[in-house]
Amino acid sequence: MSLDERLAALAEAADLAEGRLDTGAVEDARVVVARAGARRRLSVDHTVVALAGATGSGKSSLFNALSGTSLAGVGVTRPTTSAAQAAMWGAEGAGPLLDWLEIPRRHGVDDGSTVDGVPSDRRDSLAGLILLDLPDHDSIELAHRLEVDRLVDVVDLLVWVLDPQKYADAAVHERYLRPLSRHRDVMMIVLNQVDRLTPSSAGRCLNDLRRLLDEDGLRGVPVLATSVPRHDGVEELRSALARRVADRRAWAARLGADAVTAADTLAVAACADPSRDGDGRAHPVAEQAVTDLGGRAEAAERAVDGELAGPLTAALAEAAGVPLVVAAVAKAHRHRSIAATGWPVTRWLRRFRPDPLRRLRVGVPPSGHALISATARSGTADGTAAVARSGEGTPAAPRSGTPAIRPSGTPAVPPSGAAGGTPAAAGAPPQGPARGPAGPTTPAVRRASTVPVIGRTSIPPATAIQRSQMDMAIREAAAEAATGLPEPWALAVRRASRSRADELADRLDQAVSVTSVGAGRRPHWWRAVGVLQWLVFAVMVAGLLWLSALFLVDYMRLPEVPTPTLGVVPWPTVLAAGGAALGVLIALLCRLLASIGGRRRARKARKALWSSVDTVGRELVLDPMRAELARTRDFAARLTAARS
């Protein structure tokens, strides 16, 4: 993967971690990306090499030996270097780069000169090298230490100059070398002043230094032994620098190492349990840890789309009053069936009983036409609007003062069974403010005919137990989705599950109010049975009138009228008794059929209502969780790309 792609991945990872991980880690990643962009816009033909070391390590003497100058002051007084200075082999185009590095002291070096008596034709070219002499990293002056810290973060190649006395100093290992373990490819170690040691002591010192470097995670970093007075190792160091300069890729290697380090910092912040070495020191998180993070997030996404939805929908349906509505659908079907097919002598009593669904203001507008199905409704913007087949809206006046709106522009009027109103015909002129059980409400608002309807039901609000069960279901879904995720991301998932909790009550009520429960559709056989009942009733009435006429003739002592018989039973009695018995029998049979049909419609209504509630639950609870899990997965993928 190219450096551009890795830096872009790091920037995206930082954006995805915003508000979820430690701010310092996120800002460090953004600083690295910004610094990389700035460095690449400047000269890529120059390689910036810094000589860094402790007080008395001899880095200034080494700087003079490499540059063939006496730019760096050398003396007994410490510190001798108070500000960074630069020696340039090829100054053309280096100005903006040094301005960015904030190096005011600059000196051009002729690469054709003789250094330490070595002719130019025997030495590798350093054209393009910018060599910096840094202040002491352990200086007593705070400004010097800050200058070292600033330049160590931005130079292309670091040459750490150590001396036999301080090579094991914890200050350099814990503050610089160990944190820069990812920069081993842009780092060199020089053990200077070996002229103060015997050959055997110098060998033991070098071996011990390599051991310490291995512990710091810098295995394989080049280690050179130098002595400026004896010119030992200086030419080898110069040749090593010349190879790096000729390659002209040290800057890219440095930026790549910076990207990996910043990605590791984000990974440590993202993973609650980073891997540690035997001494308990935190190591950069292994690539496997980031891969595991992405895998767990992907598995949690599948769980959100699958098994987590069922328990959540069940709890939301209970809180939304779905069982109450389902029972009302069955009762309403029986109620309307009896009103349509019952014995005419008693069916009028049904008018004094409220329709169960109209009382709840669910599913059926005043005209009695069914609302469109939940499937057709799924394409609406908010998942809660529906349009009546007749062109009318939902029948309910808002129970909390919210305007009910018809697409036709007329205010919704509650049905007579619910609030004492009279159903309004579609397109009728406004009838004034709608009145609900609690009194006057806000007048309906006129809108265009394409505006969806959002109604309110009269379903009793969720009880404390139902609310508790709903909250518990949300928490359990979030906990299940966050299982195995590091705490920062688990917390983000749990927070996402509650991010739209304030909308749940209203959206559930609206979803129930606009879901088609099929209660407005009247079976065709109801009309046929209704006609039959009236015919049977007419037969009974005819028989009663005939019997009444015979009674009147007998009462008036008039001549007896011949009466036909069915066997031994007079026809008037057959008509009256038979009509009454047949009407009652038909009514009882229709009640049985209505009970069966009511249960069937209740099952369909339950399925439609669960679908609507499931849509709301997914939109307000599961979708935010899924988005957070997708963010986690993308974060892990970007980190993997940045570290590749």
Q: What is the pLDDT of residues 403-449, one digit of tens each?
A: 333 333 333 434 433 333 333 333 344 444 343 334 444 343 334 34
Predicted pLDDT of residue 151: 95
Confidence of residue 310 (pLDDT cuts 50, 70, 90): confident
**Separation CA 381–CA 97 (nearest Å):** 54
Residue 227 falls in which region: left (phi positive, over 0), alpha (psi -120 to 50) or beta:
beta
Of the listed ranges 122-131, 334-343, 494-503, the least confidently predicted one is 122-131
The token duo for 567 is 């066997």
Which tens digit of pLDDT belongs to each residue from 170-186?
Answer: 989 999 999 999 899 99
Residue 248 falls in which region: left (phi positive, over 0), alpha (psi -120 to 50) or beta:
left
Predicted pLDDT of residue 155: 95
Of the listed ranges 121-130, 225-234, 392-401, the least confidently predicted one is 392-401
Is residue 398 predicted with pLDDT exceeding 80? no
Check residues 224 and 110 and name the one with the higher pLDDT.
224
Q: How many CA atoms lie within 13 A of 598 on its CB side?
A: 22
Q: Pairing between strand 569-570 and 565-566?
A: antiparallel
For residues 597-607, give the mean pLDDT: 87
Predicted pLDDT of residue 72: 58
Of the listed ranges 139-143, 284-288, 617-621, the least confidently predicted one is 284-288
The domain defined by 45-247 folds into Rossmann fold (3.40.50)
| Residue 134 and residue 72 in contact, taking contact as beta carbons nearer than 8 Å | no
Among the listed residues 243, 258, 241, the one whose alpha carbon sits nearest the alpha carbon of residue 40: 258
Predicted pLDDT of residue 512: 84
Exposure of 94 by Cβ count < 10 A (0-12 exposed, 13-18 middle, 19+ buried)? buried
Predicted pLDDT of residue 496: 93
Share of the chain above pLDDT 70, in %: 77
- At a CB cut-off of 8 Å and minimum separation 6, what does 249 contact? none
Among the listed residues 184, 168, 213, 150, the one whose alpha carbon sits nearest the alpha carbon of residue 57: 168
Is residue 314 predicted with pLDDT exceeding 60? yes
Among the listed residues 336, 348, 350, 341, the one whose alpha carbon sits nearest the alpha carbon of residue 531: 341
Domain boundaries of the chain, sorted by first residue:
45-247
Query: In angstroms, how far is CA 47 from the centroid of its own chain?
Result: 43
Is residue 226 predicted with pLDDT exceeding 90? yes
Predicted pLDDT of residue 308: 86
Kindly state the helix (H) or strand (E) to which residue 93 belongs, with its residue range: none
Confidence of residue 147 (pLDDT cuts 50, 70, 90): very high
Predicted pLDDT of residue 470: 87
Confidence of residue 466 (pLDDT cuts 50, 70, 90): confident
Among the listed residues 320, 300, 232, the one whose alpha carbon sits nearest the alpha carbon of residue 504: 320
HEC-encoded secondary structure of 304-360 = HHCCCHHHHHHHHHHHCCHHHHHHHHHHHHHHHHHHHHCCHHHHHHHHHCCCHHHHH
For residues 366-378, give the mean pLDDT: 40
Confidence of residue 461 (pLDDT cuts 50, 70, 90): confident
Mean pLDDT of the chain: 79
Is residue 67 predicted with pLDDT exceeding 60? yes
For residues 481-486, give the mean pLDDT: 87
Predicted pLDDT of residue 73: 54
The token duo for 547 is 């019997």
Amino acid letter for position 423:
P
Is residue 6 predicted with pLDDT exceeding 80? yes
Is residue 119 predicted with pLDDT exceeding 60? no
Predicted pLDDT of residue 519: 62
Predicted pLDDT of residue 124: 59
Is residue 375 predicted with pLDDT exceeding 50? no
Is residue 80 predicted with pLDDT exceeding 80? no
Predicted pLDDT of residue 202: 92
Confidence of residue 240 (pLDDT cuts 50, 70, 90): very high
**Separation CA 595–CA 612 (nearest Å):** 25
The token duo for 244 is 């790096």
Check residues 229 and 412 and name the one with the higher pLDDT.
229
Which tens digit of pLDDT belongs to each residue from 521-580?
Answer: 788 888 898 899 899 999 999 989 989 998 888 888 888 888 888 888 889 899 999 989
What global pTM score does this model have? 0.70
Share of the chain above pLDDT 90, in %: 35
